[in-house]
């Protein structure tokens, strides 16, 4: 996909959202984590996003995970999770189409997000999945390399997210976060 | 006249000139000038007119406390009124316009008000314009609004961009004077994450002007070295041009940054609103000098003594060749020194104190300056600028003038008040330091946070320390306290100022000034409030400082009384014969100085004003004539306009076509919530009024949801997916609200029930295929058996339809044969396009929300938000059939048994038909016989939905009517706003196909 915005400091682009599977269950329960392990997923720590065999898995709340995988793999993985968790009180739901995904990359990415999200952007470390507010909409983001950020929002407000992200990223030069 | 001195000026760069205009006159300043210093360099001492009397006004101050010198700055899209010239850096080609005068600054007709001044005292408006009553709104107020007011509102949309920035730190230090710098160094060395903000473009505050030596260096050298050291600390962030605007609970601080290099209309922000979360806040905002109250203290050329020093030292501006100093304290003597050093004349220092003895004063005596103690200014001479002063003895009424001295400027000092605004915003308390005549932050009553511990402290002059050495010491101590450090991280730098004598509390000059003089002594320059006004208020019984403030408007202008507060309450305390602490202060509220509206708005403008939710099919609607309607944050097509069609025509076409052939509705916005778990059925039985747990997999049921108080809040179709799983449809606006409602009950009340929910509204697109040809369309798509046998009414099936993985619900909100086809959102547009293509041969066309509303009304189906308004229970709407009698409980059940809810006189839903076939006005009330207790005509019902039915060719409506269902066929009257009534027959709400035959057509 083409860049929505490119400055010497920051680029913003649309990303294909990929496969996503919502899993609700008792994260602390041994049976639950065993079933997930059989699908190549380890329950991440609070507010973290961690690699798994299919891709990544993010901690969304004390009883909710979001599994990220290739779009082509999500139907199969959803079925495997359903099977593995059969008999346990859980909710597995394929949600590939529910969200839009953006990448905000470059040395200005943290400042661009700090204009929109009430988050201590100077302290966001790789591995943290931050659910927050992007101006007026809910959003979540994380960074793998400490510089570039992937951001999710609901698909109905993708245009709004695109508007505010490109506006915020247009000029980040010289803005220093404490 | 005010002039630029031939040399000096620590902040200006004489090699770079900046042309600008003031009221169209071309002028020139230097890089580094503020607008105020540039105006003074061009001898522009008259810069505006006062609010009420249109008196000529000049520059008084050199900082954010300036009350007078506000201008309109810029042009067109970049015009902004009320720009404070003393804090705004001069930019090339700046366009300045003075404010509040007509026809011109030099000749203002409004100045005639001065002649009327004796009648325009405090409370004048309240007393004068109260009768006759209607005149206020229609005559007085429009006239006053025309003549009063400061700047003009911009006429064009703002051409600049603005933004917010969220920042976090351990310690926020507001103010980059020596106290702030010293504190930042102490905190930085301790390892804390420090943010230091300074409202001007320069570090060090006013100490370089006042000339202290720190650690044996000049103040400038110490500042340069300290800033360099701070810059080397990675845990310290320094930010200039950023003002602390407000301090709020939980360490939340707003700061306003105005980047000085901003280019109008560029894509960088003109203003940036910092939203800071600070664990601790240190307020090092310095102090503000007080004017003295003597007659004519508002004439251009009368300035604060500290400001005169600033102009001389920082910008090489002399306010006049001869400047008289008038003071009640030693600090003003520094101004005399500065003026003498700059080669200017100081004909006399007028000191109100009986005695003037100190090290500092001796420096002036040595230089032969004439010092008159026990003396007052009786009156300043001059109109649009100072020409001289008349002196008198301090302890007199001012009639006996002892001497008249010609001069071009007057430098006044009534002492200094710590700038405690930010400290006070969040509850910091002050105490009155009688010896030093100032309110100071009370160390025992600091603002406290969530843990009951202080989170805001003051340091330096803001804490009442004016000696440089004491300021530096206080800064380190305050930092240590804020960061709860065992020991001080650094030893404070050392400084020693010359010793000063005590201040004399002088609030009126001369002490027994007669009325004529007191009515020319300005307290609040911007709102034109004088000593005599406050005294009048006291005589009229205003004892509270808060009431006096509102009665006289003291301190209520855009400067929020930075110069007038203390003087005003001191005058009030004298008038009331009460000590100052008993009178107290008014409340300091954010912002410290006005914040640009654009900065508050941030990114939320134009397309980003509000998030707009779009369905996967939104773009198609946009290119096919959609006339949009806001529904929640969504935009839905109200109808699709074709060439030459009116909105009504389009709606009628869509209804008729759907009833006769085939219609498509983008129903993607409907809420879709999955509810799963062993207790899901039990949970839904509690949430809905009807029974859901006995619904069979593969089947759908319409359900109602009530609040705990029994009122109908949402409705929709529930589908049972399997033994453990339900899918609940909600209204478009209800999806998020109902999902939150479910989670609320599951997390807080029924936490042990085994139920999980997921709001999957956005995962799917949903298309309603409606009308006699609906089944044919699905058969054309192919792949699924949608016969009545395979998919009966209120059933659902999964399958592959025309290559799309879909779920089809056989549900109807129109009374027609109808299927709702659900598909993954990413496939929504493709399925829609395919349906449009295949639908062409079946008379298919899309319909909007208005056609949807009309068709449901023709069938007597209620709409949440039309038939309900938060006061309506299902029983009012003839929905008793949807309320389970078998269930022990459901949400709202108990409330619905209360006396008012079972009252047989509650208005009930009926259909309404006007006798003449016209459309009833929406919301119209039915009138009954007689009057109610208020003498108003009795009401017996109201219209909840009303439409022209294209199907029936007449107006139809639904409404709630007293005993309505028992009055079928009766004719009642609905009132119109023009006073007439409309005869209307009560009928069944089901207007169309009462047998429901079309459903299975």
Q: Give B601-656 pLDDT, tens digit per residue.
A: 999 999 999 999 999 999 999 999 999 999 999 999 999 999 999 999 999 999 99
Q: Which two tokens stand for residue B92?
A: 């090339």
- Residue B13 in this model has a pLDDT that exceeds 90: yes
The ipTM of this complex is 0.97
Q: How far apart are CA B711 and CA B872, in angstroms?
A: 5
B920-968 tens-digit pLDDT: 999 999 999 999 999 999 999 999 999 999 999 999 999 999 999 999 9
**Class of domain B291-414 as given by CATH:** alpha beta
Q: What is the DSSP letter of B254?
A: E
Interface contact flag, A160 B634, Cβ < 8 Å: no
CB contacts < 8 A, A to B, total: 122
- A14 touching B (Cβ < 8 Å): no
Chain A residue with Cα closest to B233: A178
Fold of B515-578: Arc Repressor Mutant, subunit A (1.10.10)
- Give the pLDDT of residue B122: 72
Q: How far apart are CA B871 and CA A27, in angstroms?
A: 42
Task: Quickly state the pLDDT bin for A172 (edges 50, 70, 90).
Answer: very high
- Give the pLDDT of residue B144: 65
Locate the domains of chain B by residue range.
Answer: 1-156, 161-287+418-482, 291-414, 515-578, 671-762, 857-886+895-987
Q: How far apart are CA A165 and CA B348, in angstroms?
A: 62
- A90 touching B (Cβ < 8 Å): yes
Region B201-213: what's the mean pLDDT? 95
Helices (H) and strands (E) in chain B, counts: 25, 51
Residue of A156, A160, A166 best to disrupt the B interface, most CBs of B under 10 A: A156
- A136 touching B (Cβ < 8 Å): yes
Interface contact flag, B677 A22, Cβ < 8 Å: no
- Residue B148 in this model has a pLDDT that exceeds 60: no
Task: Quickly state the pLDDT bin for B141 (edges 50, 70, 90).
Answer: confident
Interface contact flag, B825 A120, Cβ < 8 Å: no
Helices (H) and strands (E) in chain A, counts: 4, 11
- Give the pLDDT of residue B112: 67
- Give the pLDDT of residue B149: 60
Task: Quickly state the pLDDT bin for B143 (edges 50, 70, 90).
Answer: low
Nearest to B632 by CA among B588, B659, B670: B670
For A137, which of B611, B763, B827 is closest by C-beta distance?
Answer: B611
Q: How far apart are CA B488 and CA B307, in angstroms?
A: 35
Mean pLDDT of chain B: 95
DSSP string, B555-577: T-STTTTTTTHHHHHHHHHHHHT
Q: How far apart are CA B692 and CA B673, in angstroms?
A: 15
Region A137-152: what's the mean pLDDT? 98
Contact B225, B215 (CB under 8 A): no
B759-801 tens-digit pLDDT: 999 999 999 999 999 999 999 999 999 999 999 999 999 999 9
- Give the pLDDT of residue B52: 82
Tell me how crowded residue B453 is: count the other CB atoms within 10 A of its CB: 10
Query: Are B1-156 and B671-762 equal in CATH topology?
Result: no
- A97 touching B (Cβ < 8 Å): yes
- Give the pLDDT of residue B145: 64
Q: How far apart are CA A19 and CA A22, in angstroms?
A: 10
- Give the pLDDT of residue B105: 79
Task: Quickly state the pLDDT bin for B999 (edges 50, 70, 90).
Answer: confident
Q: Which two tokens stand for residue B656?
A: 């008729």
Residue with tokens 């009986």: B354
- How many angstroms from the chain centroid is the CA of residue B642? 42
- Residue B702 in this model has a pLDDT that exceeds 70: yes
- Give the pLDDT of residue B380: 98
Q: How far apart are CA A130 and CA A119, in angstroms?
A: 8
- Give the pLDDT of residue B116: 67
- A177 touching B (Cβ < 8 Å): yes
State what percent of residues in chain A have pLDDT above 90: 98
Contact B941, B960 (CB under 8 A): yes
Shortest alpha-carbon distance between residue B234 and chain A (Å): 9
Interface contact flag, A115 B615, Cβ < 8 Å: no
Nearest to B266 by CA among B97, B78, B90, B95: B78
Residue of A26, A82, A97 best to disrupt the B interface, most CBs of B under 10 A: A97
Nearest to B364 by CA among B192, B466, B500: B500
Tell me how crowded residue B139 is: count the other CB atoms within 10 A of its CB: 12
State what percent of residues in chain A have pLDDT above 70: 99
Task: Quickly state the pLDDT bin for B378 (edges 50, 70, 90).
Answer: very high
- Give the pLDDT of residue B898: 96
Q: What H or E segment, with its residue span, contains residue A141?
A: strand A137-143
B390-422 tens-digit pLDDT: 999 999 999 999 999 999 999 999 999 999 999
**Pairing of β B94-97 and β B371-373:** unpaired
- Give the pLDDT of residue B349: 98
Q: What's the CATH superfamily of B161-287+418-482?
A: FAD/NAD(P)-binding domain (3.50.50.60)
Residue A127 backbone zone (phi > 0: left; psi -120 to 50: alpha; other: beta): left
- Give the pLDDT of residue B261: 87
Fold of B1-156: Ubiquitin-like (UB roll) (3.10.20)
Task: Quickly state the pLDDT bin for A1 (edges 50, 70, 90).
Answer: low
- Residue B382 in this model has a pLDDT that exceeds 90: yes
State what percent of residues in chain B have pLDDT above 90: 90
Chain B residues whose CB is inside 8 A of the A130 CB are none
Contact A125, A146 (CB under 8 A): yes
- B614 touching A (Cβ < 8 Å): yes
B524-538 tens-digit pLDDT: 998 899 999 999 999
Chain A residue with Cα closest to B756: A91
A178, B356, B802, B902 from A147: Cα distances, Å:
16, 64, 45, 64
Q: How far apart are CA B883 and CA B893, in angstroms?
A: 9
- Give the pLDDT of residue B861: 96
Chain B residues whose CB is inside 8 A of the A156 CB are 613-615, 634, 762
Sign of CA dihedral B953, B955, B957, B963: negative
Mean pLDDT of chain A: 96
Chain B residues whose CB is inside 8 A of the A137 CB are 611
Nearest to B364 by CA among B342, B387, B338, B389: B338
CATH number of B857-886+895-987: 2.40.30.110
CA geometry: angle A39, A41, A47, nearest 5 deg: 155
Region A86-109: what's the mean pLDDT? 97
CA geometry: angle B809, B815, B817, nearest 5 deg: 50
DSSP string, B393-454: ETTS-S-S--EEEE-SEEEEE--EEE--HHHHHTT--EEEETTTTEEEE-TTS--B-TTSSB
B494-517 tens-digit pLDDT: 998 999 999 999 999 999 999 999
Fold of B671-762: Alpha-Beta Plaits (3.30.70)
Nearest to B221 by CA among A91, B391, B765, B229: B229
């Amino acid at each position: 996909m083409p860049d929505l915005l490119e400055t010497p400091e920051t680029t913003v682009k649309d990303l294909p959202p990929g496969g996503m599977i919502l899993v609700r269950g008792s994260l602390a329960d041994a049976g639950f984590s065993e079933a997930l392990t059989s699908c190549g997923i380890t329950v991440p720590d609070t507010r973290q996003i961690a690699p798994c065999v299919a891709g990544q898995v993010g901690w969304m709340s004390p009883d909710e995970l979001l599994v990220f995988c290739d779009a082509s793999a999500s139907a199969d993985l959803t079925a495997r999770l359903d099977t593995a968790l059969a008999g346990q009180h859980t909710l597995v739901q394929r949600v590939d189409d529910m969200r839009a995904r953006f990448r905000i990359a470059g040395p200005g990415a943290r400042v661009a997000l700090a204009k929109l999200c009430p988050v201590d952007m100077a302290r966001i470390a790789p591995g943290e999945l931050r659910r927050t507010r992007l101006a007026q909409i809910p959003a979540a983001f994380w960074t793998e390399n400490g510089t570039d950020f992937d951001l999710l929002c609901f698909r109905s407000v993708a245009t709004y997210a695109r508007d505010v992200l490109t506006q915020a990223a247009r000029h980040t030069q010289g803005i220093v976060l404490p | 006249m005010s002039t630029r001195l031939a040399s000096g000026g620590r902040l200006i760069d004489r090699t770079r000139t900046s042309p600008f205009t003031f009221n169209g006159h071309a002028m020139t300043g230097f890089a580094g000038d503020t607008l105020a210093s540039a105006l003074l360099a061009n001898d522009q001492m008259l810069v505006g007119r006062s609010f009420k009397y249109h008196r000529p006004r000049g520059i008084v101050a050199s900082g954010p406390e300036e009350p007078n010198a506000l201008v309109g700055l810029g042009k067109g899209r970049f015009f902004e009124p009320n720009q404070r010239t003393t804090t705004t850096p001069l930019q090339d080609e700046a366009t300045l316009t003075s404010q509040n005068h007509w026809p011109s600054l030099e000749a203002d007709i409004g100045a005639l008000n001065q002649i009327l001044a004796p009648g325009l005292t405090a409370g004048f408006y309240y007393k004068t314009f109260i009768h006759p009553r209607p005149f206020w709104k229609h005559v007085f107020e429009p006239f006053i609004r025309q003549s009063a007011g400061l700047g003009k509102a911009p006429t064009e949309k703002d051409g600049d961009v603005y933004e917010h920035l969220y920042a976090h730190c351990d310690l926020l230090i507001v103010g980059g004077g020596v106290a702030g710098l010293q504190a930042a160094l102490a905190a930085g060395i301790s390892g804390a994450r420090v943010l230091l903000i300074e409202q001007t473009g320069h570090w060090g505050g006013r100490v370089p002007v006042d000339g202290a030596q720190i650690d044996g260096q000049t103040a400038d050298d110490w500042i340069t070295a300290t800033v360099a050291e701070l810059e080397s600390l990675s845990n310290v962030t320094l930010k200039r041009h950023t003002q602390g605007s407000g301090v709020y609970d939980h360490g939340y601080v707003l700061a306003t940054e105005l980047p000085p290099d901003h280019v109008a209309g560029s894509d960088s922000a003109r203003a940036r609103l910092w939203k800071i979360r600070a664990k601790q806040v240190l307020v090092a905002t310095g102090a503000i000098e007080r004017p003295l109250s003597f007659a004519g203290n508002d004439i251009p050329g009368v300035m604060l003594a500290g400001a005169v020093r600033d102009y001389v030292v920082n910008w090489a501006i002399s306010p006049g060749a001869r400047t008289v100093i008038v003071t009640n304290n030693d600090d003003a003597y520094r101004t005399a020194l500065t003026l003498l050093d700059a080669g200017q004349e100081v004909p006399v220092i007028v000191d109100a104190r009986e005695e003037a003895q100190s090290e500092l004063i001796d420096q002036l005596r040595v230089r032969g300056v004439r010092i008159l103690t026990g003396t007052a200014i009786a009156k300043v001479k001059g109109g649009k600028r100072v020409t001289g002063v008349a002196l008198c003895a301090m302890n007199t009424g001012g009639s006996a003038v002892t001497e008249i001295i010609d001069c071009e400027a007057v430098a006044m000092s009534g002492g200094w008040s710590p700038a405690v605004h930010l400290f006070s915003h969040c509850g910091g308390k002050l105490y009155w330091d009688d010896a030093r005549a100032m309110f100071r932050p009370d160390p025992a009553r600091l603002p406290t946070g969530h843990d009951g511990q202080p989170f805001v402290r003051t340091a330096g002059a803001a804490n009442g320390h004016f000696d440089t050495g004491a300021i530096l010491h206080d800064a380190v101590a305050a930092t240590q306290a804020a960061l709860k450090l065992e020991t001080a991280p650094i030893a404070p730098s050392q400084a020693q100022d010359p010793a000063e004598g005590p201040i004399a509390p002088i609030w009126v000059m001369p002490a027994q000034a007669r009325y004529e003089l007191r009515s020319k002594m300005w307290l609040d320059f911007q709102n034109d409030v004088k000593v005599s006004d406050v005294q009048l208020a006291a005589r009229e019984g205003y004892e509270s400082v808060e009431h006096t403030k509102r009665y006289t408007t003291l301190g209520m202008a855009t400067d929020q009384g930075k110069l007038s507060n203390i003087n005003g309450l001191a005058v009030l305390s004298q008038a009331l014969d009460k000590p100052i602490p008993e009178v107290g202060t008014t409340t300091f509220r954010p912002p410290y100085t006005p914040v640009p509206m654009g900065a508050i708005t941030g990114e939320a403008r134009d397309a980003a004003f509000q998030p707009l939710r779009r369905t996967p099919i939104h773009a198609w609607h946009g290119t096919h004539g959609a006339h949009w309607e806001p529904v929640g944050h969504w935009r839905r097509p109200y109808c699709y306009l074709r060439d030459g069609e009116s909105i009504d025509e389009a709606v009628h076409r869509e209804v008729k076509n759907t009833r006769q052939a085939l219609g498509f509705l983008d129903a993607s916005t409907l809420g879709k919530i999955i509810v799963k778990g062993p207790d899901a059925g039990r949970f839904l039985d509690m949430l809905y009024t009807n029974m859901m747990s006995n619904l069979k997999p593969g089947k759908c049921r319409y359900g109602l949801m009530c609040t705990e108080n029994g009122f109908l809040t949402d409705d929709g179709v529930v589908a049972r997916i399997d033994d453990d799983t339900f899918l609940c449809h909600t209204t478009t606006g209800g999806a998020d609200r109902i999902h939150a409602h479910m989670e609320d009950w599951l997390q807080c009340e029924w936490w042990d029930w085994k139920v999980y929910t997921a709001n999957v509204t956005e995962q799917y697109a949903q298309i309603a295929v409606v009308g006699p040809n609906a089944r044919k369309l699905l058969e054309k798509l192919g792949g699924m058996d949608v016969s009545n046998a395979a998919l009966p009414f209120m059933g659902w099936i999964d399958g592959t339809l025309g290559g799309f993985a879909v779920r089809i619900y056989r549900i109807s909100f129109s009374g027609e044969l109808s299927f709702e086809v659900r598909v993954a959102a990413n496939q929504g547009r493709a399925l829609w396009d395919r349906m449009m293509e295949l639908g062409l041969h079946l008379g298919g066309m899309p319909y909007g929300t208005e056609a949807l509303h009309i068709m449901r009304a023709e069938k007597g189906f209620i709409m949440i938000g039309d038939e309900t308004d938060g006061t309506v229970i299902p029983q009012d709407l003839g929905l008793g059939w949807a309320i389970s009698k078998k269930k022990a409980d459901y949400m709202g059940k108990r409330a619905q048994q209360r006396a008012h809810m079972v009252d047989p006189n509650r208005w009930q839903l009926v259909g309404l038909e006007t006798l003449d076939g016209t459309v009833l006005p929406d919301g119209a009330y039915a009138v009954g016989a007689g009057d109610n207790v208020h003498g108003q005509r009795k009401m017996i019902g109201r219209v909840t939905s009303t439409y022209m039915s294209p199907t029936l060719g007449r107006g139809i409506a639904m409404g709630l009517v007293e005993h309505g269902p028992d009055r079928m066929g009766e004719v009642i009257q609905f009132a119109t706003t023009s006073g007439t009534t409309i005869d209307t027959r009560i009928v069944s709400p089901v207007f169309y196909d009462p047998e429901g035959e079309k459903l299975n057509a």
